[in-house]
Structure 1
Amino acid sequence: MLRQLGKMTPMPWHCARDFNKVLYNSKKLGGLIKEDECMKAFQEALESCNLHDLGFVGGPSPVEQ
């Protein structure tokens, strides 16, 4: 879906919020280790759309709990 959205305009664009995906197991806090193939597919989708992780760290806001 990200790739399709990225092709819709030549202009820069911005996505915000949590995709419920991890880019690297080293960034994951608890739970099961994710398969490299799943993370690689997400990494490639972000790269092809020229999107970058802003490095947010922390839990959900009080509104989201």
Structure 2
Amino acid sequence: MRRRRNGARPEPDRRPYEDNTHFAGEYTSEVAQGYMEGGAGSGVRAADEVLVDLGVTPAG
């Protein structure tokens, strides 16, 4: 992910690739990019996306 010319970080692209690949990690976090909390939160988000794709309702 490259920085824009004005120094701002670009929005992370979290769209699923080919409908069966999901990306997670601190670099995909909107609120905690670069931190452990961002990685953990994006892991939960990606797991929920996978469950929805499988037709399972995520808990919580």
Q: TM-score, normalised by structure 1?
A: 0.29
Higher RCO by CA contacts (8 Å cutoff, separation 6 or greater): 1
TM-score (norm 2): 0.31
